[in-house]
Amino acid sequence: MLSRILGVLFAAVLLLPVSGAGQAARAPGAPTRVPVTVVLVERLPVPGAPFVVQRRPGAAQQDVILLPASADAQLFSEAVQMLLVARQAGGDTPVTAATMRVRPQRGRNTPQRVLPWAQRVLNDLRRAEARPVEGIDSVQAVEIWLPRQFGRAPR
């Protein structure tokens, strides 16, 4: 099941643009996937945000997507796409701490692409046992692995 999710994830993310300059920064033998922890929370730390993406250098879980319990596949897909863009710009692992959120857009008439595996991850997340996530609390959480974006070279 996990290999199927990762296979679909890899195929979906390959469609995202990747700069040629960033690809040159890839070191031979470097990991091809980078983890992100996805959590369900009762209340998001940023009022009014539909989701929150945290980049936390030095933390056990460096990238975390926080979703409300009511999240659907569309919302989760938007959060993943935001993290991938952040990784393209700032590197696959965070160097500086950042909290990202998107304001709900009124009148948006072009739906974002829903990742084909998003609902399966949400189902796994809702069935997950609560576990401690550094800086958040004990929450339902799963770890997924996204393909490297080859952003800024590590220092």
pLDDT digits (tens, 9 = 90+) for 42-52: 999 998 899 99
Rounded mean pLDDT, 92-110: 77
pLDDT value at position 150?
A: 76
CA dihedral sign of residues 142, 134, 56, 25: negative
Q: How does pLDDT run across 43-85, given as a tens digit for each residue?
A: 999 988 999 999 999 999 999 999 999 999 999 999 999 999 9
With bands split at pLDDT 50, 70 and 90, how would you rate the model's confidence at 101? confident
With bands split at pLDDT 50, 70 and 90, how would you rate the model's confidence at 29? low
**Mean per-residue pLDDT over the chain, rounded:** 80
pLDDT value at position 73?
A: 97
In the sheet that 63-68 helps form, which strands lie side by side, from edge to edge?
98-101, 52-55, 63-68, 33-41, 137-147, 130-133
pLDDT value at position 108?
A: 55
Query: The pTM is what?
Result: 0.76
Q: Rounded CA gap, 68 and 125, in Å?
A: 12
Q: Rounded CA gap, 66 and 44, in Å?
A: 7
Residue 76 · residue 121 · CB < 8 Å: yes
In the chain, pLDDT over 70 holds for what percent of residues? 72
pLDDT value at position 99?
A: 93
Domain spans, the chain: 2-16+34-105+112-147
Residue that has been written with the tokens 């929370």 in this structure: 41
